[in-house]
Amino acid sequence: DAGVTQSPTHLIKTRGQQVTLRCSPKSGHDTVSWYQQALGQGPQFIFQYYEEEERQRGNFPDRFSGHQFPNYSSELNVNALLLGDSALYLCASSLLRDRGSQAYGYTFGSGTRLTVV
Amino acid sequence: ILNVEQSPQSLHVQEGDSTNFTCSFPSSNFYALHWYRWETAKSPEALFVMTLNGDEKKKGRISATLNTKEGYSYLYIKGSQPEDSATYLCAFVQLGNQFYFGTGTSLTVIP
């Protein structure tokens, strides 16, 4: 049973560019959450997708946007990249019906390391 | 700004030692407290989800306690082994399902 897969694992972008990160949730999960972990900090909640809609959003600017597809996979898009966007981006999946993330914990991917130069 | 604090930030222990670390969180609007274990170059892995004041959970040599009234949780590792080396993250889940993670405790077990 595959867990959460994220791609790419690493990438380097230039300031001002746009980037798309991808996530496939664990089989059977229907909800995808995205987190940003900057150096020395804990993961910060970006947003959560369920039924192809954004359910919740953390304190991130509109440059951060996302999408969820009918197969539950998700993308995180960041426009007009800033040096401060350099971080590890984690995707986490859960099953909303069972209030999965609260009852059983998230299933995380191993992240995409984004470096903005 | 909601603050979840973990202490210590890092620690080194000898193989066989027992150790513990702390997660402090707000005592209001509590819904759940999660512990995750994160090995280098791998994914964070859920250890415990705790929801009730006074909860104690155990998985092998690792256990956790929860005090929601005073806003803290302890994670204990008995007889530490090198494979326990990892970062241990806690997450406070607020009513409304908003997650707030601490910065983690990095544990190194020296053989």
User: What was the pLDDT predicted at A100?
Assistant: 55
User: What was the pLDDT predicted at B58?
Assistant: 96
User: What was the pLDDT predicted at B106?
Assistant: 97
User: What was the pLDDT predicted at A10?
Assistant: 96
Chunked mean pLDDT (size 10), chain B, 111 residues: 91 97 93 94 93 94 97 97 97 85 97 95
> Is A7 an 8 Å CB contact of chain B?
no
* Pairing of the two strands B98-101 and B72-77: unpaired
From the list A44, A101, A109, which residue is nearest B43 (CB)? A109
Residue A108 to residue B44, Cβ atoms within 8 A: yes
User: What was the pLDDT predicted at A98?
Assistant: 60
From the list A4, A40, A56, which residue is nearest B103 (CB)? A40
CA-nearest residue to B105 within chain A is A42
A37-58 pLDDT, tens digit each: 999 999 999 999 999 999 999 9
- Which of B24, B31, B99 is best to mutate for the A interface (most A CBs within 10 A)? B99
> Is B89 an 8 Å CB contact of chain A?
yes
User: What was the pLDDT predicted at B97?
Assistant: 73
Residue B46 to residue A45, Cβ atoms within 8 A: no
Residue B101 to residue A43, Cβ atoms within 8 A: yes
CA-nearest residue to A101 within chain B is B97
Percent of chain A with pLDDT over 70: 92
User: What was the pLDDT predicted at B60?
Assistant: 96
A95-113 pLDDT, tens digit each: 876 665 666 788 999 999 9
Contacts of A49 in chain B (CB under 8 A): none
User: What was the pLDDT predicted at A57?
Assistant: 93
- With cut-offs at 50, 70 and 90, classify the pLDDT of residue A115: very high
